[in-house]
A and B are shown apart, each in its own frame.
Chain A
Amino acid sequence: MRKISIVLVDDHAILRQGLRALLEQEPDMKIAAEAGSGPEALRLVESLRPDVVVLDLELPGINGLEVARLIHQGRSQARVVILSMFAKEAYVGEALNQGACGYVLKDSGARDLVQAIRHAIQGKLYLSPPLSEQAIEAYTQKAMAQNLDLYETLTGRERQVLPLAALGKSNAEIGEQLLISARTAEIHRARVMRKLGLKTQADLTRFAVRRGIIPIDD
């Protein structure tokens, strides 16, 4: 019976040792090689063509995510299982994006890693509990959502200045109306423009009209 050949990549020899002992207990697995850095890992994958690469994210040289990406894009058919201390969806999502097909947390049980490797061989995704695809999906949603309305970022004062400035009033006029100095009015106006990413008075007026802050001229 052909055994699953595995390359272990971690910069800590002690950890690699532990992992080797763990995996070699499995009758159908063998450790083809160990690597302590990104470049070394890539070289071994290229020459040994292992079935699975168990990859730590924290690596000297090239970080784990980048190594995963290069393996995935390279000629090798090796499946990548990430072994990480980070239980954060941010990492998991990123790792999956880079082509990893398993994400195992270092503090979860040994069974997790074995299971992840078996899944990987069958082309299935495995995530250590408490990670879940739903959680990752939710995270991605959260990260991707462009949910900020720039108008929200304006302070109360700025919201007072905005319509007046949009109507073309001078700083002095604005200051007089809001009982602040012209200089202060100018600073508020500049901040409004900057926060909203506007360049010209016309941009400002257009924004105000579009948002219904000032009425459209007849």
Chain B
Amino acid sequence: MDPEVYRLLVDTSYDWEELLDPQGNYIYISPSCRRITGYPPEEFTANPALLLEIAHPGDRAALEEHYRSTASGESGACKLEFRILHRDGEERWLEHRCQPVHSNDGSFLGRRGSNRDITGFKRSEEALRQDNAQLRCFMQHIPGLMGVIDRAGKITMIEGALDTMSFDPRLFLGMNAFDAWQDWPQIVDDVHRALQGEKIPFSTFVAVSGTHLAIRYTPIQDEHGQVISMLAIATDITEIKKREKALRQKDALLRNVIVNVPIAIMALDKNGVITLLEGEGLESFGVEAQAAIGQSALEYFSAYPEIVANIRQALAGEEVYDLYRIGRTRVYETRYAPVYDEAGGVDGAIVVGINVTEHTQAREQLRQAKEQLEVILAGITDGVHVWNASGKLIYANQGTAWLKNYLSEGTTAEFDQITEDIEVLDEAGMHIPPEQLPVALARRGVQAQPRLVRLRNRQLNEERWAVLKSNLVFDESGAMQMAVVITQDVTELKNAEAALRESEVLYRTLVETSPDGIILVDLKGHILKANQQFAELFGFSSVEELIASHPQGFDLAIEEERPRVSANIQKAIIEGPTRLSEYVARRKDGSLFPIEISGSIILGMAGAAGTLVGICRDISERKRVQQELHEASERLEQRVRERTAELAEANQNLRLENIERQRAEAESRRHAAHMEALAHVAARVNAQLDLQSVLQAICEEAVRAIPAMPTTIVRLYNEQLDQLDIAAAYGQFSEQKRRVAAIPLSLHNAHISTTNPVNVLPDIRKLPYLPDFDLFIEWQIRSVVSVDLLHHEELIGVLNMVSFEQPYLPTDDELAFLQALAEQATIAIANARLFEQVSAGRQRLQMLSQRLVEIQEAERRRLACELHDEIGSTLTSLNINLDLARRSIKAEQSVLMKAQDQLAQTQEQLKQLMQQVRNLSLDLRPAQLDDLGLLPALLVYFERYTEKTGIQVDFKHSGVDKRFAPEIETTAFRIIQEALTNVARHTGVNAAIARIWANQEFLGLQVEDHGDGFDPQAALIAGVTAGLSGMCERVTSCGGDIEIESKVGQGTTLTVVLPLLRQALQESA
């Protein structure tokens, strides 16, 4: 073969092939060395020690040793595993094999070596070794066994130990499992099944020793799924089983307890899920124990918010105690307790409910019984005190509260101390030593007899009678346990006894000394007792004598009276009350006399009538007096009757007089009312000056006067048309007024008597038909009253009143009143007409004067304009022409000079003329007033005024730097002008003050001078100055106010205030 082929072979070898000479230098090194070490062959060739350098320090010695041993060529093929550090920094395992190479003649040529990278293999090996070691270690240290059995059943591995095992399980190693464990068919069967490929996760085995084993069988398969062996792991579960059993027993015990005692228990895990629910009474919650387990308690009991709240608290780690009532009687004492895990966190909760219904009921009964007893004890008036064996008061009621400081409730003092305040005396008032008292005796165990004593409170110095009784209570051993001492207050009883004795004496005395006879009989009438007076009443000397002759008391009455006596007694027995009866009785001497008996029944035992008491009185004398009285009364009656008749007659006369007087009074009242109404009318009608108001008032008053005629019309005479026009209407006509035509006077006169001012048409329908009344009939007018309104005998109008549908005839009074009203109305109408004329005249006058002012102003304005514009302009033009002429003249110097002079003179004259024209125009009406307003016009005016008159005007203003309505500006300007003109004309001063001011509402003007002054009243009345009255005229027409304050010698101040608002209002309207 071509040596190149060999070379190719080794060059491409995966392993690192090398050939070294006997000195250890590389003869050949295959390129794989680079893959394995990271260094190229050249580096190894250059540095034969490179391998040693990159070898792992731990393996370096071995490698050096290898080099040494192989250097001679003596050693044959050898193998070495060592680690190097690859150039990339990683550790690699190399397997080095080498053998010496000898030539044919046997000389040592060197060594041929091959290096293989076995890092992967080494790592797997290491991992496996570790796993195995861990497994063994694990198995040795857990209480369990692990075994591997191959397909043939040979036990290939068995490890571990069980505490209870008396032998080393490794004894079984290498044995056939089926033979070794033939006594335990269960295991044999399981092993068999596992080797068939079945996985048995849990199988139990109980050893003879009682050890419980849980065994898991796992088949082990190769990559083809072939079972090659199986693994069995057995763990000791003996302890678990024991605990389980104990738990079951405990559980059963708990259930038993729960079921047999009135208790309900519930366990919750930390999420509130019910893990246990048992016990009595659950059904009353509607709880079914089995169904509830596994549910969330919070949801399960959501109908009971208090339970849910308690559970939440318990789960939050808080113990809760709660009383829970079901229905009216059942009571559960519930306790919610958190359960903690080892870490101290809440791991759940236990809820225990104990039915304490009976307990609660018993307690309640006891409480009630005690309460009742206390009520009883508190209610009884006797004092009840209970002492214990050592002499301490353990109970006291309020029964002895009557005795201050004596054994009331809460007293803890011993009896000995108490007796310091309370002295105990016997009936006779002798002191009883404390040791003899029932209390003291009881303490010695001696039962004392009840004893009547007197208790004296030393402090209050009060004494009460009381009976002391004691009762001893002994325990089983016969020792005294407590003593109950009852103190009964018998003071009232004692007092009653004394009172009884006293009243007995009293009554006896009464009976014996009574002026009346008193008798006691039984129901059959036998006399039981009588007083001396009774005997004397009947003429006997003594009671004994009377009883001897008349043992039957009723017999004292005469025979005829006896049935009545017994009937009255029966009645008294049944009806009860005392009765007064009169009978006729017989005396011892046989004479009869009237007797009055007041009887009453003394009730015996059980309310049965027992004894009759009679108080008897001889009423002969009274009877006689009565008879006399009766007769006297009869006489009096008679006289009274006579007198009454007289009085009745007088009365009748009086009544007639009275009626007469009332009538007169009514008449006078009516008259007064009439007068009053008339006065009212006069006042009302004359209060108005406006004709329409007057007429309306007349109509209203007329209807007030005759309400039965509710419609009134006033017609006024129209002279021009000779007819009566409708002027006012009231009532129904006010709407129809327009349809009522004017009536010609002739028609009026045709139907109305001209001689009588008041005319009545009582009923239109009863008049013969006239076309004139058509309208009346159409409007259903029935009655008409017509009153002429005559002023100075002249008809000025008619007042008509009408009734509709029903006819109405006014009374004389009404007509008289109406006529009076008409007279008043006439005057009022005449007045109103007069006033109307006057005010119309005044208005016209004012209008005219205003118009006059306006026309005057307009005329002045026109003139001023004319002067200024037309004439002024012409003059200006002339002036210009002259100017031009002066410039254009070309002539000889001397002629020129002359002409120039003349022209200049002409021009000067022309200028003067222009100035005069301008002043004239300004005087007439300043153009500034229209062009620039009040303030500039006044400023110009004052200047000119001062120039002309030499009077300085001190002008002061405020708020007038604006335009006002033209009338206001004109008026204001003219007033100032007039006032200053007056100053110049009349005062002789050289200064005046002018003030103008304005606000939103007013424009004020004031001109003041310190001249001679005058009397303004007099001046106005005398009409001295046309200027002053002209001013007044102007101000009034603007609705302003003028005030002149002047006194002779004190100067004058003229003030005018012109309203601006009215102007504005009028403009806006």
Contacts and interface: CB of A to CB of B under 8 A. Distances in A.
Among A15, A90, A191, A197, the one with the most B-chain Cβ atoms within 10 Å of its Cβ is: A90
B931 A65 contact: yes
Interface in B995-1054: 995-997, 999, 1001-1002, 1004, 1006, 1041, 1043, 1045, 1053
Contact of A157 (B955, B995, B1045): B1045
A120 B957 CA distance: 36
Given A12-B873, A85-B876, A107-B915, A146 B883 contact: no
B883 A22 contact: yes
Given A12-B873, A94-B932, A107-B914, A147 B879 contact: no
Interface in B845-900: 868-870, 872-874, 876-877, 879-881, 883-884, 887
A183 interface: no
Given A146-B957, A194-B1057, A25 B876 contact: no
A153 B1043 CA distance: 12
Contacts of A106: 872, 876, 879, 914
A209 to B, nearest CB: 21
Given A15-B873, A91-B932, A143-B939, A148 B958 contact: yes
Nearest to A60: B869
B880 A110 contact: yes
A146 B932 contact: no
B928 interface: yes
A142 interface: yes
B911 interface: yes
Contact of A17 (B870, B877, B936, B939): B877
Given A14-B873, A58-B869, A195-B1004, A150 B958 contact: yes
Contacts of B958: 146-148, 150
Contacts of A17: 877
A65 B881 CA distance: 27
Contact of B911 (A19, A107, A144): A107
B940 interface: yes
A107 B879 CA distance: 7
B940 A90 contact: yes
Contacts of B224: none
Interface in A135-158: 139, 142-150, 152-153, 155-157
B918 interface: yes
A15 B876 CA distance: 7
B959 interface: yes
A110 B887 CA distance: 10
B880 A191 contact: no
B335 to A, nearest CB: 80
A140 to B, nearest CB: 10
Mostly helix, strand, loop or mixed at chain A's interface?
helix
Interface string A179-203: 0000000000001001101000000
A91 B995 contact: no
Among A57, A65, A86, the one with the most B-chain Cβ atoms within 10 Å of its Cβ is: A86
A25 B888 CA distance: 10
A10 interface: yes
A90 to B, nearest CB: 3
Mostly helix, strand, loop or mixed at chain B's interface?
helix
B426 interface: no
Interface residues of A, number: 44
Interface string B924-963: 0001100110011101100000000000000111110100
A21 B884 contact: yes
Nearest to B957: A148
Contacts of A130: none
Given A10-B873, A106-B876, A155-B1055, A147 B884 contact: no
A110 B884 contact: yes
Given A90-B932, A148-B956, A152-B956, A143 B961 contact: yes
Contacts of B870: 12
A170 interface: no
Contact of B995 (A15, A143, A153): A153
A77 interface: no
A43 interface: no
A91 B877 CA distance: 21
B1045 A144 contact: no
A31 B961 CA distance: 39
A169 interface: no
Interface residues of B, number: 47
A90 B927 CA distance: 11
Nearest to B994: A148
A106 B927 CA distance: 16
A161 B959 CA distance: 25
A18 B884 contact: yes
A210 interface: no
B956 A18 contact: no
A155 B940 contact: no
A63 to B, nearest CB: 7
A88 interface: yes
A90 B877 contact: no
Contacts of A10: 873
Nearest to B875: A107
Given A146-B959, A148-B958, A153-B995, A85 B872 contact: yes
Contact of A18 (B868, B881, B957, B1055): B881
Given A107-B911, A155-B1055, A156-B1045, A15 B880 contact: yes
Contact of A197 (B931, B999, B1006, B1043): B999
Nearest to A197: B999
A146 B935 CA distance: 12
A155 B928 contact: no
A153 B1004 contact: yes
Contacts of A194: 1002, 1057
B927 A86 contact: yes
B883 A110 contact: yes
A14 B1004 CA distance: 45
A199 B712 CA distance: 49
Interface string B972-1011: 0000000000000000000000011101011010100000
Contacts of A110: 880, 883-884, 887
Contacts of B959: 146
Contacts of B915: 107
Nearest to B1050: A156
A27 interface: no
A138 B911 CA distance: 27
A22 B880 contact: yes
B940 to A, nearest CB: 5
B1043 A191 contact: yes
A152 B997 CA distance: 11
Contacts of A147: 956-958
A21 B877 CA distance: 11
A91 B931 contact: yes
7 contacts: A91-B931, A106-B879, A107-B876, A107-B879, A145-B957, A147-B957, A147-B958
Interface of A: 10-12, 14-15, 17-19, 21-22, 25, 57-58, 63, 65, 85-86, 88, 90-91, 94, 106-107, 109-110, 139, 142-150, 152-153, 155-157, 191, 194-195, 197
Interface of B: 868-870, 872-874, 876-877, 879-881, 883-884, 887, 911, 914-915, 918, 927-928, 931-932, 935-937, 939-940, 955-959, 961, 995-997, 999, 1001-1002, 1004, 1006, 1041, 1043, 1045, 1053, 1055, 1057
Per CB-CB distance, the 10 closest pairs between chain A and chain B, nearest first, are A90-B936, A18-B880, A148-B958, A12-B873, A148-B956, A106-B876, A197-B999, A14-B877, A18-B877, A155-B1045
